[in-house]
């Protein structure tokens, strides 16, 4: 399991029973200021209360990545209606 701000990997995901599966469209902002559309496919909260998201972007490759959720760089988009 990940420690506070530690790294979750494809080979070491959080416990399945603690994962909340979703389909949430997002915009991701990279450090160079560019944006890309993507989606969050799951949420997980670690023992310290930090939120993690399983993020998939087209340029990120075939596998989604677990990342510490940062609302400044990963902006949630509406998933239904406007």
Instruction: Tell me, yes or no, whether 34 lies in a domain.
Output: yes
- 52 is a domain residue: yes
HEC letters along 18-34: HCEEEEEEEEEECCCCC
Question: What average pLDDT does range 1-26 have in this prediction?
Answer: 77
In a domain, 1, yes or no: no
d(C-alpha 1, C-alpha 16), whole Å: 11
Domain contains 43: yes
Q: Please report the pLDDT score of residue 7 as a whole number.
A: 58
> Does 82 reside within a domain?
no
Give the pLDDT of residue 6: 52
pLDDT at 4: 43
Report the CATH number that the domain containing residue 55 is assigned in CATH.
Answer: 2.30.30
Q: How many CA atoms lie within 13 A of 62 on its CB side?
A: 0
Domain that holds residue 29: 21-76
Answer yes or no: is 2 within a domain: no
Tell me, yes or no, whether 11 lies in a domain: no
Total tally of structural domains belonging to the chain: 1
Cross-strand partners of 42: 21, 54
Cβ contact 32:15 at 8 Å: no
Rounded Cα gap, residues 79 and 81, in angstroms: 7
Please tell me the predicted confidence (pLDDT) of residue 12.
80
């Amino acid at each position: 399991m990940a420690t506070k701000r530690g790294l979750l990997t494809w080979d070491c995901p959080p416990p399945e029973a603690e994962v909340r599966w979703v389909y949430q469209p997002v915009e991701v902002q990279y450090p160079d200021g560019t944006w890309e559309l993507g989606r969050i496919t799951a949420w997980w909260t670690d023992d310290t209360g930090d939120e993690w998201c399983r993020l998939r972007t087209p340029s990120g490759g075939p596998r989604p990545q677990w990342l510490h959720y940062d609302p400044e760089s990963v902006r949630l988009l509406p998933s239904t209606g406007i």
